[in-house]
Amino acid sequence: MALYESILELKSIEECCAFFDDLCTVGELRAMEQRYDVALLLDEGLVYTEILERTGASSATISRVNRIFSFGTGGFRKMIQRRKGKGQ
């Protein structure tokens, strides 16, 4: 739980970027960013081919994120809705 508690303590986008740059490899960060981008586009109602063109994500990644939307814990949707409320 220490990791998640530490994330909640970050105070700025700069702190967040520095923390994740130290924690993750470039590849890990890009994969997480890509999955989140896919989630945003799925939430907008885009189809697989449009998402693939915009993000370069594989159909397997798009499918995985889509399954998370249907059967996951709701974390993606909650964060997307929260960001929409802030005007992103």
Enumerate domains of the chain plus CATH numbers: 27-88 (1.10.1270.10)
Helix segments in the chain, DSSP class H: 2-8, 13-23, 26-43, 48-55, 59-71, 75-85
pLDDT for res 70? 85
pTM: 0.87
Non-local CB neighbours of 44 within 8 Å, separated by 6+ positions: none
pLDDT for res 88? 55
Residue 42 confidence (pLDDT) above 70 = yes
Q: What is the mean pLDDT of residues 51-80?
A: 94
